[in-house]
Amino acid sequence: MTIGLFVPCYIDQLYPRVARASWELLTGLGHTVESPEGQTCCGQPLANSGHAAQGEPCVTGFSQLFGQYDAVVGPSGSCVLHLKEHLEQRGDPLAHRIHELCEFLHDIARVERLEATFPHRVGLHQSCHGLRGLGLGRPSECQIPAFSKPARLLGMVGGLELVPLDRADECCGFGGTFSVQESDVSVAMGTDRLADHERHRAEFITSADMSCLMHLGGLASRAGSPVKVIHIAEILAGNAP
Amino acid sequence: MLPTTDSHPRAAHDFLQDPERSAWHDETLWMVRTKRDRMASRVPEWELLRETASQIKEHTLSQLSGYLEEFADRAEANGITVHWARDWEEHNRIVLGILQRHGAKRLVKSKSMLTEECHLNPCLAEHGIEVIDTDLGERIVQLEKGAPSHIVMPAIHLKRSEVGELFRRTMGTPEGLDDAQALTEAARQDLRKRYFAADAALTGINFAVAETGGFVVCTNEGNADMGAHLAPVHIACMGLEKIIPRQEHLGVFLRLLARSATGQPITSFSSHFLKPRPGQEMHVVIVDNGRSRQLARPDFRKSLACIRCAACFNTCPVYRRSGGFSYSYFIAGPIGSILAPNIDRKQHASLPFASTLCGSCSAVCPVKIDIHTQLLKWRQEIVAEGHTGWMKRLAMRAAAFVFRHPRVFRMAGWWARKFLPLANRIHLDPWTKTRDLPPPPNASFQEWYRRRGK
């Protein structure tokens, strides 16, 4: 199928390697992958700040750019959830063809094995919007059988050891504009999240959402913590640094 | 009271100045959340229970006036006097009227966040009536002359040793008392004589049953019963959303309430009141105070399904790290943040923004209120009504412009990457004050994508 690769704005500008890893993963599965020109932002920061109306043109633009594809895949649970919800509200059928990367690999491509190896101790940060919004796994509040699509995919990576965490899916405190508007609480949450990984001697924190990792990585770097952050696409694609 | 848009972040900042205490607050409430998980996991039909509770509440809210009238008729037939209060002032007038008619000077009170909402205590004090809060947590807060920081654990902001010191000062207990059992016993002995001296008892209502005209009060200390069974007058106050249609529905809600609230299978006492005992007078005051206004808002009406378990407080990573007093409303936490804007959007403008929208509140809620979705919706209303700062509005407008113009976006991105190493050095913006930005890549993905294969 022909896949439209949706590259969230901050990944385009700050983490192009995450988009490249996603591109490689999808082309490696034998799909035609295109990333249409003219992408900017999904509009989530506007909506979450109470300016949803001003973010609507972003959703319209997105629909025009990606409407032609069989599927749209993005390496960011949060942006994908925002688009999915807003497209759904408009009755745009694209809402049902847009997927977060892990969700696509797990549910649509049904990947069962990967070539990648990553011989490290890795903590999986379950980003909230992917977890509770897109249903990538079982949130710890819910009394349903446990599952995690990102964890299952990481299980296919050679040498990778997933470390347990004290709080399985506590929020990292990023929260978009929350991270600056409520920076004290945001930093307190992120510091605790980082400490949980340090306590369990994780070398890396990975996630299906780069924005959480931008926050956690920024805190780790400032504190001189040995823990590094890496997007799950890079691990799965086997091109981790 | 803190006004304006940054009241929550400012108060949270203050709370976090004592990292040891805020870490303790976080750990303590997380432990309650963990206990809740353990209890919920032992009920195989937990998710079915939540769904059932949610549907019962939705149904009830869709026919609220009918059920309220049914309840009032049955209650009256049982010998209870039913009063209707449009707002908090009318509620206080009614309670005061009942007390004055009986010449009551001393009131023992239990389990009522509603009277907190209505500012009943100061109102009664003005009229020379002494109010004694009898729930241990409420009593501590009352002795402290403070306010509850949590709706189920009102004194959770205090450590045991601080309660010991408070008791020494106010009740003359020995110095250095730091044992939960000893402290509870001291409060218990002090309260006991007050029950006997009380002229009237006031309780809240957890569930009012339309089919029977009776109501249920849940406590762990039996204090509601002690008060109501001794006093010649029992006044029970409820918000109009406390109604459930049938007695059998208690089998759903009582199983959910304490498990969600404190991780207990059930509260020590679930007291059912049906009619006054011979010689006793029983009153029920049904309060609106803005609830019917919320009921008329399709996006927010589900907030009235709340059974006040506070599971959303305990799970909320923001509440745990900012404390109950960082919220400008007397109900803190996520549920308070969606109830408060119904009362005053300007005053409580910061509350719907005091969330990362992680969604844990909605996932833990025993009646499935879409709390985080409502937080997001309130944000839109608050911005539309102009209750946010001009800086933020300007920034958002600028961002919207950049996002609408891909070429401007590319240019802005290029400049931002050039500027980034400097931002990481000077730490002037709220992000880099506390966090580094990643080292900038040489090219954006779009640049790489255009050039690839060339």
| pLDDT tens-place string over residues A46-103 | 999 999 999 999 999 999 999 999 999 999 999 999 999 999 999 999 999 999 999 9
Bridge partners of A123, per DSSP, are: A205
Mean pLDDT of all residues in A215-221 = 98
pLDDT at B3: 44
Chain B residue with the nearest C-alpha to that of A174: B356
pLDDT digits (tens, 9 = 90+) for B71-102: 999 999 999 999 999 999 999 999 999 999 99
pLDDT band of residue B390 (cuts 50, 70, 90) is confident
Residue B111 is given by DSSP the state S
B43-289 fold: Rossmann fold (3.40.50)
Rounded CA-CA distance B209/B213 in Å is: 6
Q: Tokens for B104, please give them.
A: 């009551």
Residue from B232, B247, B284 nearest B75 by CA: B284
pLDDT at A202: 98
CATH 1.10.1060.10 range(s) for chain B read: 7-30+298-384
Mean pLDDT of all residues in B38-58 = 98
Please tell me the CATH code under which domain A2-108 is placed.
3.40.50
Judge whether residue B59 has pLDDT over 90. yes
Amino acid identity, residue B453? G
pLDDT band of residue B112 (cuts 50, 70, 90) is confident
Which CATH architecture is the domain A121-237 placed in?
3-Layer(aba) Sandwich (3.40)
Q: CA–CA distance from B67 to each of A45, B114, B295, B338 (Å)?
A: 42, 20, 15, 25
- pTM, full prediction: 0.96
Rounded CA-CA distance B416/A10 in Å is: 11
**DSSP string covering A18-35, please?**
HHHHHHHHHHHTT-EEE-
Q: How far is B321 from chain A (nearest CA, A)?
A: 6
Residue B353 is given by DSSP the state G
Q: Tokens for B402, please give them.
A: 């950049």
Catalogue the E-assigned strands of chain A: 2-5, 32-34, 71-74, 98-100, 121-124, 161-162, 204-207, 228-231
pLDDT band of residue B217 (cuts 50, 70, 90) is very high
B450 touches chain A (CB under 8 A): yes
- To which H or E segment does residue B283 belong? strand B281-287
B30 touches chain A (CB under 8 A): yes
Q: CA–CA distance from A186 to each of B4, B204, B328, B350 (Å)?
A: 20, 36, 19, 15
pLDDT at A229: 98
Q: Tokens for A228, please give them.
A: 């590094």
Rounded CA-CA distance B2/A69 in Å is: 51
Residue B215 is given by DSSP the state E
Judge whether residue B213 has pLDDT over 90. yes
Residue from A232, A214, A177, A135 nearest A44 by CA: A177
CATH 3.40.50.10420 range(s) for chain B read: 43-289
B15: left (phi over 0), alpha (psi -120 to 50) or beta: alpha
Rounded CA-CA distance B272/B249 in Å is: 14
pLDDT digits (tens, 9 = 90+) for B339-379: 999 999 999 999 999 999 999 999 999 999 999 999 999 99
Mean pLDDT of all residues in B30-52 = 98
Interchain CB distance below 8 Å, B357 and A48: yes
B169 backbone dihedrals φ, ψ, rounded to 5°: -70, -40
Q: Tokens for B412, please give them.
A: 């802005």
Rounded (10°) CA dihedral B384, B386, B390, B394: 20
Rounded CA-CA distance B334/B305 in Å is: 14
**DSSP string covering B297-349, please?**
-TTTGGGGG-----HHHHH-HHHHHH-GGGSSSSS-HHHHHHHHHHH-TTTTT
Rounded CA-CA distance B387/B345 in Å is: 8
pLDDT band of residue A113 (cuts 50, 70, 90) is very high
Q: Tokens for B189, please give them.
A: 């002995």
B449 touches chain A (CB under 8 A): yes
Rounded CA-CA distance A89/A59 in Å is: 11
Judge whether residue B2 has pLDDT over 60. no
* Average pLDDT of the residues of chain B: 95
B7-30+298-384 fold: Fumarate Reductase Iron-sulfur Protein; Chain B, domain 2 (1.10.1060)
pLDDT digits (tens, 9 = 90+) for B154-211: 999 999 999 999 999 999 999 999 999 999 999 999 999 999 999 999 999 999 999 9
Interchain CB distance below 8 Å, A171 and B317: yes
pLDDT at B4: 58
Q: How far is A156 from chain B (nearest CA, A)?
A: 27
Interchain CB distance below 8 Å, A143 and B46: yes
Q: Tokens for B270, please give them.
A: 């679930």
Instruction: Say whether A229 sits in a helix, a strand or coil.
Output: strand
Bridge partners of A4, per DSSP, are: A34, A72
B429 touches chain A (CB under 8 A): yes
Interchain CB distance below 8 Å, A171 and B315: no
- Best of B358, B364, B381 to disrupt the A interface (most A CBs within 10 Å) is B358
pLDDT at B5: 67
A56 backbone dihedrals φ, ψ, rounded to 5°: -60, -40
pLDDT digits (tens, 9 = 90+) for B135-161: 999 999 999 999 999 999 999 999 999
- Hunting for tokens 């848009």 — which residue is that? B5
pLDDT digits (tens, 9 = 90+) for B232-245: 999 999 999 999 99
On whether the CB atoms of residues B212 and B193 are closer than 8 A, the answer is no
Interchain CB distance below 8 Å, B443 and A144: no
Where are chain A's structural domains?
2-108, 121-237
Chain A residue with the nearest C-alpha to that of B408: A40
Q: In what order do the strands lie in the sheet with A228-231?
A: A161-162, A121-124, A204-207, A228-231
pLDDT at B1: 40
pLDDT at B6: 84
Interchain CB distance below 8 Å, B437 and A14: yes
Chain A residue with the nearest C-alpha to that of B20: A188
pLDDT band of residue B389 (cuts 50, 70, 90) is confident
Residue from A78, A76, A158 nearest A122 by CA: A158
Q: CA–CA distance from B34 to each of A32, A96, B262, B364 (Å)?
A: 46, 35, 10, 11
Instruction: Say whether B106 sits in a helix, a strand or coil.
Output: strand
Q: How far is A16 from chain B (nearest CA, A)?
A: 4
* Average pLDDT of the residues of chain A: 97
Residue from A98, A89, A38, A35 nearest A70 by CA: A98
Show which of residues 46-65 on chain B sit within 8 Å of chain A, judged by CB atoms.
Answer: 46-47
pLDDT digits (tens, 9 = 90+) for A145-160: 999 999 999 999 999 9
Chain A residue with the nearest C-alpha to that of B14: A184
Mean pLDDT of all residues in B282-293 = 98
Rounded CA-CA distance A183/B382 in Å is: 21
Interchain CB distance below 8 Å, A185 and B318: yes
Bridge partners of A207, per DSSP, are: A231
**Whole-number percent of chain A with pLDDT over 90:** 99
Quote the distance between the C-alpha of residue B192 and its chain's center: 29
Rounded CA-CA distance A134/A85 in Å is: 10
